[in-house]
Structure 1
Amino acid sequence: MLVFVTGASGFIGRKIIEDLLSHGHGVIALVTSDASAEQFKALKITTLVGGLEDSAVLQQGAQLADGVLHFAFIHDFSDFSRGCQVDREAIEAMSEVMAGTQKPLVIASGTLIARHPTMASEDTPYTRDMLAMSERATSSDLLFKLSKEKAIRGMVIRVPPIHGIGDTGMLAGIVNAVRSSGKALYVGSGQARWPSAHRDDAAVLARLVLESGKAGSTYNAVSESGVAWVNIMAVIGKGLGLSPMSGSPSEVKEALGFFADVMSLDNPTSAAMTMKELGWIPTGPELLDDLRANYF
């Protein structure tokens, strides 16, 4: 299968490409610059230079490919709503040239916007009261609508905070914020739990969903259902030589900025249905072990 991958040069995207190639698939990679394209020369894959607002480039990739893994997103938390709008427009543009083909179009969403008081699953509806963050769910709404209307195989992967060597995402951002502030703070009792997965395992799941996922389905890329923040911050604090401490939401926000808001979200999440349906078996290191070994 020839696969168009957006977010190709990102933390997860690079691993997705490696996994696809190792399993006999071809790749067309969307990159944002000629400099980004250079890193893929050794892999001898096709690259298209453009961004999520370049509809013609997105349509070229989607039309040439047998399927799409859409993992790019504009992570500008100062204008998150705009990033969500651009994402919807990108999905719509690609779906136009895939109409009637039953080609797979797989998009990434997040577990943090699909919460449940005991344990979220693949069937848990999105949490719609999180202001700008909840708008990310509208991409999934649109994809499932287009999947029916345009006869494409639309599927969603809800991605938790991903960890691994070379992390440029939320966990690495929190470690850097703690380092800069000199304060290893968690919110309240620190019992809010985050699900997680290793980058390698998330990449494998992306391929499995592309190959075998069912139209209109949601899959959870979760290997650990929930790690409490008091335990995460204990590892971060030790790694940076700081004493972990409880703080009020305002104190944590003053020290760590935006991250304080998401660190307070209790998000235990299961991937039992995903594992059973697709035979996905995560093998990567667990979050706390990976933090200890590779983040300091």
Structure 2
Amino acid sequence: MRIFITGASGYFGGVLTEHLISAGHTVEALARSDRAAARVAELGATPVAGGLADTAVLHEAAARNDAVVHAAVDYGDPAMQDVEQPALDALLTGLADGRPFVYTSTGLVYPDTKGRPVTEDEEVSEQTARQPHKYLGERRVLAATNLAATVIRAGLIYGRGGSAMLQGLIAGARAQGVATYVGDGRNIWSTVHVDDLAALYAAVLTGGEGGGMGGGIVNAATRTGMAFREMVEAVATLTGTHTASLSLDQATQLFGDLAHMLAGSTPLDPSRAERLYGWKPAGPSLVEDVTRGSYAAA
């Protein structure tokens, strides 16, 4: 299969590109800089010069490939919605009818359910989503009924020493001498190893063991969630620091709106991914990877 990927020079996109090329697919990858082009070429993909604002480039790349994976995202950019919507229009209209399109979303489109597990049927909206622009991106993709469109809502991605959030927690603990959580830290987070997530994308693109194609919305997370405090304790072990609790008010003063996200608790139910694609996550747990695996090695 010929696959066009946005975000291939990034953390998850790079791992996904490795998986797809190892499986025998041909990959073209958007590259907005010489550095990004060198990175994707090193992975074995063909660089396509341009960024998400280059809609003609996106349209043409989608038209000459068999499938598209949109993995480029900047959760911290307030203008991301204004950039992403035209980019999605170009990609979706360029891809031929019936072809697979996979959109990278996040479990943060769900509201905080205070620990109640959520399936893909959970009601979400722009008003309740903790990442509204990803919700709007999902709506645009799922409206393309001429394509085999799949939206993947992933938990916290970790592994291979990556993840902006984990790296931030580790850097913060080293700088401050303490690793912090909010309240009692018992709020549950869903996580997924980067290689397991890449394996799910590959299965979605080809139908997987379960024969699924165009699965609508799919949660991607291991079955066992983890308390945020466990994550922080692993970071403290790695950095040789101690842990401390912050009140929500203290956390808000330090982190702004991010504090409420850190304190949220919305476990993802991955049953649909398991059923449609025979998906079986096999990577080490986040605690194992942080304390004894790729993060410790780094």
**Aligned residues of 1:8 and 1:30 also touching (Cα < 8 A):** yes
Match of 1:97 in 2: 94
- Structure 1 residues 182 and 254: CA distance shift in structure 2, 3 A: farther
TM superposition shift of 1:219: 1.0
Residue deviations 1:49-93 (CA, integer Å, cap 9, x gap): 21111101111211111000110013334x2xx212322221111
- Structure 1 residues 229 and 168: CA distance shift in structure 2, 3 A: closer
- Structure 1 residues 125 and 184: CA distance shift in structure 2, 3 A: same
How many Å separate the matches in 1 of 2:36 and 2:11?
A: 13
Match of 2:82 in 1: 85
How many Å separate the matches in 1 of 2:14 and 2:268?
A: 25
Match of 1:192 in 2: 187
SS in 1 for 2:242: coil
* Matched AA of 1:107: Y
Residue deviations 1:112-132 (CA, integer Å, cap 9, x gap): 222445111122232543477
Match of 1:138 in 2: 136
TM superposition shift of 1:238: 2.3
SS in 2 for 1:189: coil
TM superposition shift of 1:40: 3.4
Residue deviations 1:222-258 (CA, integer Å, cap 9, x gap): 1144210121111112222222121111322444566
* Matched AA of 1:114: Y
* Matched AA of 2:33: S
How many Å separate the matches in 2 of 1:287 and 1:256?
A: 23
TM superposition shift of 1:217: 0.9
Residue deviations 1:124-175 (CA, integer Å, cap 9, x gap): 2325434772232011111111x22xx1111100111111123142222222
SS in 1 for 2:13: helix
TM superposition shift of 1:32: 1.8
SS in 2 for 1:238: helix
Q: TM-score, normalised by structure 1?
A: 0.90
TM superposition shift of 1:209: 1.1
Deviates more, 1:183-192 or 1:215-224: 215-224
Match of 2:102 in 1: 106
How many Å separate the matches in 2 of 1:175 and 1:44?
A: 31
**Aligned residues of 2:31 and 2:51 also touching (Cα < 8 A):** yes
SS in 2 for 1:121: coil
1:180 to 158, 175, 179: 175
Match of 2:166 in 1: 171
Q: Does 1:41 align with 2:37?
A: no
Match of 2:127 in 1: 129
Match of 2:286 in 1: 287
User: Share of identical aligned residues, percent?
Assistant: 30
Match of 2:260 in 1: 261
How many Å separate the matches in 1 of 2:43 and 2:240?
A: 40
How many Å separate the matches in 2 of 1:126 and 1:22?
A: 36
How many Å separate the matches in 2 of 1:16 and 1:238?
A: 29
Deviates more, 1:168-177 or 1:49-58: 168-177
* Matched AA of 1:45: A
How many Å separate the matches in 1 of 2:44 and 2:178?
A: 45
* Matched AA of 1:134: P
Q: CA RMSD in A?
A: 2.0
* Matched AA of 1:20: L
- Structure 1 residues 127 and 76: CA distance shift in structure 2, 3 A: same
Match of 2:197 in 1: 202
**Aligned residues of 1:161 and 1:196 also touching (Cα < 8 A):** yes
Deviates more, 1:134-143 or 1:213-222: 213-222
How many Å separate the matches in 2 of 1:240 and 1:232?
A: 13
Structure 1 unaligned regions, length at least 5: none
* Matched AA of 2:244: M
Q: Does 1:239 align with 2:260?
A: no
How many Å separate the matches in 1 of 2:129 and 2:167?
A: 24
Deviates more, 1:201-210 or 1:40-49: 40-49
- Structure 1 residues 53 and 160: CA distance shift in structure 2, 3 A: same
SS in 1 for 2:235: helix
How many Å separate the matches in 1 of 2:186 and 2:234?
A: 15
How many Å separate the matches in 2 of 1:44 and 1:111?
A: 30
Deviates more, 1:228-237 or 1:210-219: 210-219
